[in-house]
Amino acid sequence: MRSGFVSAGGDLRVFGSDYRIHLRHPLGPTGIVPPILLRDEAVATSANTFSRRGEMPDEIGHLIEPRTKVAWRGESSVTVRCKSCLIADALTKVVLFGGDSAEAVLSQYDSVAIVLEVQAPDLAV
């Protein structure tokens, strides 16, 4: 095959041609996010968007904060693009939980992170 893509549930690798990829907004599939263009790259996304169980305040997700060992309740999503799905997936957690060191680690792997934040509604009257 000269070109194609492989999707592995949140991880995607494309090769040979340009592919326009639409990222899912953390609030759900109707959110508008400009597409990104990939060629011979991988992307992986980590978010709680579809893994939450229960109602607040007992709502939990599948991502565990390594320092506290508590389920991460964040609403943002992190997508990392680089050459490997495996590395991209690992780096999403570095960005979520690595603090100030995340930028250096991304640079080491020639990777870029896209963080989509959920903004609180403006309640000003």
Looking at CATH, the fold of the domain delimited by 4-116 is given as T-fold (3.10.520)
Q: pLDDT tens digits for 81-125? A: 999 999 999 999 999 998 889 999 999 999 999 998 876 555 554
Whole-number mean pLDDT of the chain? 83
pLDDT tens across 38-88, in order? 999 999 998 876 665 555 555 566 788 888 888 887 778 899 999 999 999
| Cβ-count burial 17-37 (b if 16+ within 10 Å, e if not) | eebeeebbbbeeeeeeeeebe
Q: Give residue limits of the domains in the chain.
A: 4-116
Count Cβ atoms within 10 A of the Cβ of residue 107 and give its class: 0-12 exposed, 13-18 middle, 19 or more buried. exposed
